[in-house]
Amino acid sequence: MTCRKALLFGLNYVNDPSCRLDGCINDANNVRSLLVDHLGYQADDIMMCTDSTPIKPTKVMMQRLLRELVLSTHRLQINQIFISYSGHGMNVGTEQKDNAIVPVDFRSNGVITDYELAALIRQVHPRTDVIMLMDACHSGSMCNLPYVYSVDKFVQDESLSVSCRALLVSGCRDDQVSQEADLDGDKRETGMATDAFINAISENNYDVTCVNLIMYMNAYMQKHNFPQRPQLSSSRMLSETCIFVSSAEDGRPFFCL
């Protein structure tokens, strides 16, 4: 029996007007609907952590939830985990070459760096596939995975060794910002990358390769005149025919790396 777990973060920073966002909680809810309604996830196996949930996305809580999810891959026979983050991202480090995600209490407790995220991914059980969606500024290499899809091929970018199969869909390159918009005119903003991700899967009838996914997402940005360019990185070299979402014999779509 397939066992899947998901952890979805949506940070609008409702108590910090200077960095307030409007669409990130919507992103988390939309991803949850995609997973439950179309991709075989059970509602009870999805943890939501947003400004509007009882469990708030503080630094300590985000670290704890990520760590518990990783540890659960060793205690349980988990085939797949899905992690999404919609919120602020930033460049950090002495030369601003490292990346970080930004908890709601970052002003007092700091950020979560890409090196910390990469260390967590390295601890996932080898049997477990990891799929991540990062809809944040400067998120291109957020988990430092070793292979990045660029110019119609995967190229080795880092020397990180990861035993599990991991895939990261980033909302933009490291030098870009991710944006949100109200494309439907219903006064309900969403992150452009999350919107493109969901559309890439649904518009292809839940049957799409990894390469076609990222190509569709980039075309979606160009169609709507947004400069950000989503990226795809992986723990392993992937062929251009590697399936991202497909349908089982009973017709139900699922993630498959």
Which amino acids are annotated catalytic? 88, 137
* Nearest alpha carbon to residue 162 among 147, 142, 140, 172: 147
Residue with tokens 């292979």: 147
Q: Contact at 8 Å (CB) between 122 and 161?
A: yes
CA distance 91 to 98: 6
Tokens (6 digits) for 243? 């399936």
Q: Which residues contact 249 (CB under 8 A, 6 or more apart)?
A: none
Q: Contact at 8 Å (CB) between 9 and 45?
A: no
Pairing of strands 80-86, 46-50: unpaired
